[in-house]
A = this chain, B = another copy of it.
């Protein structure tokens, strides 16, 4: 028997939710939904009220993540999940994070409006504290949902703006430090997790496409505190051959790595390399001194673990070559980073097929930014992501997502959450 047509997401509801979210969190310079603060809580409260008005189930875990569930026919079957975070950076935009929760709510509202029941539970998660500007911890909310944080240490973290502990902010949001971080989700009870998010780069804008099917979340290697160390010297009196010029060394190093990047990208590798901070020492530098030291911050990201390993080796090799050539020392310092999170190949294929079937122009795209979806993937849950085109980047009040693009992304999400109902044109 052919299943009935998949219900369309309720885009009118989505528009209302975005407007209300904006009104609740506009603070003069932008959108501020502070983690475990008034801004984030207002967003959670709005989603709870909306869920209740749609007669959906509402649950909250010890970490204060929110779960809105449309019960399915077989409640014992593993559920499918979607969702994203409801916090924002300070003076950020209205769509980063919230779009994923709103899209999920629009999908569930579509089912309710059509009076249909899905074959299994479908859950929208409102994740806490994804933006680590507030509390210096990656994926605090989603890791907490899996019971994968050191609760005592995390509860003691001070929030960057107030200096008050997470425990203190948690209590104000109705939470209880005693149950904070207790496992709520069980990987074997989740059939898949698909997150919709605005694209934070310009790839879809430049390609002229409304949505992207995410192939993976780039992993990173980082040397946040690398340095080149030479010798301070008189800028007029010390000849080229006698210099140990840290600035020259850093420039040659960055230029060499830039050539490596170009070569690897031409060979089809997924790779971005950023030297986001580069500074001589303000306490010592002067226009009339050869610089004796410079701080260099490196962030290398790729979908491919082997590319990260190769670039890491190149960093060491180029540093050694240029140390020799420019007579300086390179000290790369502590390496941090994260492993790439690969999206599920079946979900990628389903999303691509659904886009084709529905006439939605789409492309495959890597996610350079981290997302809660990475935590689900790392827990072995088949995971996918949908990017919606967004102009002017994210983390700023100028985020610009077109509601037509969002509607296409939400339709793809609906298909991904109920893969047993085949995609078909309207």
- Cβ of B276 and Cβ of A222 under 8 Å apart? no
Enumerate chain B residues within 8 angstroms of A240, measured Cβ to Cβ.
Answer: 261-262, 265, 272
- Cβ of B277 and Cβ of A369 under 8 Å apart? no
- Cβ of B248 and Cβ of A251 under 8 Å apart? no
Q: In this assembly, does A285 line the interface, its C-beta being within 8 Å of a C-beta of chain B?
A: yes
Find the residue from A202, A218, A224, A276 having the highest chain B CB count within 10 A. Answer: A276
- Interface 1/0 per residue, A273-300 and B, CB below 8 Å: 0111111101001111111001001010
How many residues of A sit at the interface, in one of the four size bands?
35 or more
Find the residue from A203, A262, A279 having the highest chain B CB count within 10 A. Answer: A279
- Cβ of B201 and Cβ of A237 under 8 Å apart? yes
Q: In this assembly, does A45 line the interface, its C-beta being within 8 Å of a C-beta of chain B?
A: no
Binds B, one of A6-14, A139-147, A252-260: A252-260
Enumerate chain B residues within 8 angstroms of A297, measured Cβ to Cβ.
Answer: 285, 287
- Cβ of B236 and Cβ of A301 under 8 Å apart? yes
- Cβ of B235 and Cβ of A301 under 8 Å apart? yes
Q: Kindly state the separation between the CA atoms of A371 and B286 in the bound complex, as whole angstroms.
A: 19
Query: Which of B237, B248, B291 is within 8 Å of A200, CB to CB?
Result: B237
Q: In this assembly, does A239 line the interface, its C-beta being within 8 Å of a C-beta of chain B?
A: yes
Find the residue from A218, A233, A277 having the highest chain B CB count within 10 A. Answer: A277
Enumerate chain B residues within 8 angstroms of A369, measured Cβ to Cβ.
Answer: 234, 236-237
Q: Kindly state the separation between the CA atoms of A275 and B287 in the bound complex, as whole angstroms.
A: 7
Q: Kindly state the separation between the CA atoms of A94 and B268 in the bound complex, as whole angstroms.
A: 61
Enumerate chain B residues within 8 angstroms of A354, measured Cβ to Cβ.
Answer: none
A68, chain B: closest CB distance, angstroms? 28
Q: Kindly state the separation between the CA atoms of A287 and B121 in the bound complex, as whole angstroms.
A: 40
Q: In this assembly, does A238 line the interface, its C-beta being within 8 Å of a C-beta of chain B?
A: yes
- Cβ of A285 and Cβ of B291 under 8 Å apart? no
List 12 A-B residue pairs with CB atoms under 8 Å apart, sorted by A's residue number. A224-B287, A235-B272, A236-B367, A248-B258, A251-B258, A255-B255, A276-B280, A277-B280, A277-B287, A277-B291, A279-B279, A285-B297
**Extra A-B contacts (5), CB below 8 Å, given A274-B288, A276-B288:** A199-B237, A238-B272, A240-B262, A277-B286, A277-B287
